[in-house]
């Protein structure tokens, strides 16, 4: 009798278990994602430290090369002064000393030219001294990186000493640059697997970025969008670079972490859709099976009633011929007619009923007349419309009378045989509203929908099928609606039926 209550309890339990499983999975996924996020921040901090060290190394390298450059220029100036003194010195010992200074320059490429660019002397150069006589073109451009030094010879002659960085200096710089680049690249590849942006101390000017495609980053809207996402997702990492001041590293969660965070939701969404489809198909199949059982049972009942009913009709006619009391025959005829009506009702279950235009007010009055003769006189019926009023709508007479009888019988049981049943009929342009109220025990709000389920009943010997059939007749056969409009415990219940006019 309480099958649906038990089913609903199982549904609640299974739903609660599903919620617990989903919550636990999401909780664990969030913890795992949090650990990954911590590891990513740790990698970013390592990367930031590498950037800091790289910047310090670059600064040290720049200072180192600047010192070498200054020292090489000092040496070139010393060479220029030596060339100048060689032409003025008469002392053989001093001349030998100056020439020794010139010959000791084995690293810095130098070219001595007159004021017209003619090469008079050179050392440590890569070109053929016998074929190249004038400093011009690419050669002059190569030796003009540093400003040439002017030499004043005797008799007012002017010469110029051109030079470029030494081979040792160039080789050392290339080695250090390769070292810095390889170090930086290795750290970036191994540690910074997430999109990063480095800004100045104001956090507004972007200095550089990593793990972001250049074509995307060059788009201003995309740049603002990704920077905004970085600001909202993670706190920036501050680094202090020697000689450059503070820098801030903003970073975004990696694609792996983002997918990890959203994967459970996507997974449960797909599972939920699958379960919903499966449940819908199962419910539809079960409902279809129930409908077939209902229809089969109803038709079989109508078939079983048909044979004895035909016999009873024949016996009524025989009784009339034998001059049996007219009142007795009349009452028996009423009951036989009632059985015929019930048979027709059951025969229509499971098939498409034929709807005909009927005066719904008259139908309700006829149903009440039948019920009055078979219920306690302590039950009072009231209708807000007079019997002469007409409200024409398409209904199946036998099935709709069944609806009225089922609702009224439930109301009579709820009132324990004493009370009032009110019919309030109203209409608009398209619909008719029938409110049926009683003064019975009432219902709790949680039972408003349950009472229409098969098997739900408060009677000791009831099957709980009346309101279930009523709902089926109104909603499936008449395309209408029926529901509990309102109910108060201890005061009564109002059912509302809504039917279309056409």
pLDDT digits (tens, 9 = 90+) for 313-365: 777 777 777 777 777 777 788 777 777 777 776 666 666 778 999 999 999 99
Cα separation, 496 vs 481, in Å, equals 8
Q: Is the pLDDT of residue 138 over 80?
A: yes
**Strand, helix or coil at 240?**
strand
Query: Mean pLDDT lowest for which of 178-192, 217-231, 449-463?
Result: 178-192
Helices (H) and strands (E) in the chain, counts: 11, 15
Closest CA to 443 of 495, 501, 388: 495
Confidence of residue 3 (pLDDT cuts 50, 70, 90): low
Closest CA to 333 of 314, 348, 307, 305: 314
Distances in Å between the alpha carbon of 414 and those of 337, 347, 381? 28, 29, 15
377-395 residue pLDDT tens: 899 999 999 988 999 999 9
Cα separation, 29 vs 37, in Å, equals 12
pLDDT > 70 fraction of the chain, expressed in percent and rounded: 75
Cα separation, 314 vs 283, in Å, equals 46
pLDDT at res. 423: 96
Distances in Å between the alpha carbon of 198 and those of 70, 204, 209, 245? 33, 10, 6, 13
Phi first, then psi: give them for residue 132, nearest 5 degrees: -95, 110
pLDDT at res. 312: 77
pLDDT at res. 183: 52
Instruction: For the beta carbon of residue 118, count every other beta carbon within 10 angstroms.
Output: 12
Please tell me which residue, 83 or 77, carries the higher pLDDT value.
Answer: 77
Instruction: For the beta carbon of residue 169, count every other beta carbon within 10 angstroms.
Output: 17
Cα separation, 217 vs 196, in Å, equals 11
> Domain boundaries in the chain?
260-351, 354-500
Cα separation, 357 vs 392, in Å, equals 6
Confidence of residue 487 (pLDDT cuts 50, 70, 90): very high
Please tell me which residue, 289 or 439, carries the higher pLDDT value.
Answer: 439
Cα separation, 434 vs 481, in Å, equals 11
175-212 residue pLDDT tens: 766 765 665 555 455 445 677 887 888 888 887 777 77
Would you say the C-alpha torsion 184, 189, 192, 195 has a positive or negative sign? positive
**Strand, helix or coil at 165?**
coil
408-421 residue pLDDT tens: 988 998 898 899 99
> What is the pLDDT of the chain when averaged over all its residues?
78
Instruction: For the beta carbon of residue 73, count every other beta carbon within 10 angstroms.
Output: 15
Cα separation, 239 vs 246, in Å, equals 6
Confidence of residue 147 (pLDDT cuts 50, 70, 90): confident
Instruction: For the beta carbon of residue 143, count every other beta carbon within 10 angstroms.
Output: 20
Distances in Å between the alpha carbon of 354 and those of 135, 399, 401? 114, 10, 14
Exposed / middle / buried, residue 316 (Cβ in 10 Å: 0-12, 13-18, 19+): middle
Please tell me which residue, 114 or 8, carries the higher pLDDT value.
Answer: 114
Cβ contact 188:47 at 8 Å? yes
pLDDT at res. 1: 44
* Residues whose CB falls within 8 Å of the CB of residue 175, separated by 6 or more in sequence, listed in order: none
Confidence of residue 248 (pLDDT cuts 50, 70, 90): confident
pLDDT at res. 190: 46
Beta bridge partners of 178: none
Cα separation, 203 vs 247, in Å, equals 8
Beta bridge partners of 240: 246
pLDDT at res. 303: 59
pLDDT at res. 221: 87
405-451 residue pLDDT tens: 889 988 998 898 899 999 999 999 899 999 999 999 999 888 888 88
Q: Per-residue pLDDT averaged across 228-247, rounded? A: 75
Exposed / middle / buried, residue 54 (Cβ in 10 Å: 0-12, 13-18, 19+): middle
pLDDT at res. 167: 77
171-179 — which CB contacts under 8 Å span 24+ positions?
172/68, 173/65, 176/61, 177/61
Q: What is the CATH number of domain 354-500?
A: 3.30.565.10
Please tell me which residue, 256 or 234, carries the higher pLDDT value.
Answer: 234
38-77 residue pLDDT tens: 776 777 677 667 666 766 776 677 677 778 778 777 877 7
């Amino acid at each position: 009798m309480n099958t649906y209550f038990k089913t609903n309890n199982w549904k609640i339990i299974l739903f609660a278990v599903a919620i617990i499983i989903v919550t636990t999975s999401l909780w664990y996924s969030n913890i795992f994602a949090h650990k990954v996020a911590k590891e990513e921040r740790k990698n970013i901090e390592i990367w930031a430290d590498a950037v800091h060290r790289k910047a310090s190394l670059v600064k040290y390298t720049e200072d180192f090369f600047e010192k070498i450059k200054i020292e090489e220029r000092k040496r070139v100036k010393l060479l220029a002064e030596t060339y100048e003194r060689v032409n003025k010195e008469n002392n053989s010992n001093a001349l030998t000393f100056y020439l020794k200074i010139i010959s000791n320059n084995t690293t810095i490429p130098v070219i001595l030219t007159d004021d017209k660019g003619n090469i008079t002397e050179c050392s440590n150069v890569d070109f053929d001294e016998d074929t190249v006589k004038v400093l011009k073109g690419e050669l002059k451009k190569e030796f003009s990186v540093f400003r040439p030094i002017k030499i004043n010879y005797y008799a007012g002659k002017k010469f110029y000493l051109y030079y470029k960085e030494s081979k040792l200096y160039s080789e050392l710089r290339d080695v250090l640059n390769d070292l810095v680049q390889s170090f930086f690249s290795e750290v970036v590849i191994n540690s910074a697997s997430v999109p990063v942006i480095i800004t100045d101390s104001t956090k507004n000017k972007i200095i550089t970025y990593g793990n972001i495609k250049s074509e995307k980053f060059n788009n201003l809207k995309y740049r603002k969008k990704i920077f905004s996402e970085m600001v909202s997702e993670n706190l920036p990492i501050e680094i202090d670079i020697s000689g450059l001041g503070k820098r801030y590293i903003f970073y975004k969660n990696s694609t792996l972490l983002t997918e990890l965070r959203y994967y459970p939701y996507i997974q449960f969404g797909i599972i939920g859709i699958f379960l919903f489809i499966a449940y819908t198909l199962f419910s539809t199949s079960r409902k279809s099976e129930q409908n077939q059982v209902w229809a089969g049972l109803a038709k079989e009942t109508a078939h079983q009633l048909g044979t004895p009913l035909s016999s009873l009709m024949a016996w009524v006619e025989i009784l009339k011929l034998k001059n049996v009391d007219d009142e007795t025959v009349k009452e028996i005829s009423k009951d036989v007619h009632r059985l015929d009506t019930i048979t027709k009702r059951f025969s229509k279950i499971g098939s498409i009923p034929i709807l005909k235009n009927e005066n719904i007010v008259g139908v309700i009055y006829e149903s009440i007349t039948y019920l009055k003769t078979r219920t306690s006189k302590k039950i009072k019926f009231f209708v807000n419309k007079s019997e002469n009023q007409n409200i024409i709508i398409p209904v199946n007479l036998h099935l709709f009378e069944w609806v009225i009888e089922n609702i009224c019988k439930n109301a009579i049981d709820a009132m324990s045989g004493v009370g009032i049943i009110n019919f309030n009929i109203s209409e608009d342009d398209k619909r008719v509203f029938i409110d049926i109220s009683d003064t019975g025990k009432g219902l709790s709000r949680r039972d408003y929908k349950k009472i229409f389920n098969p098997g739900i009943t408060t009677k000791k010997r009831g099957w709980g099928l009346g309101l279930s059939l009523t709902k089926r007749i109104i909603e499936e056969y008449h395309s209408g609606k029926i529901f509990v409009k309102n109910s108060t415990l201890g005061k009564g219940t109002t059912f509302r039926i809504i039917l279309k006019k056409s």
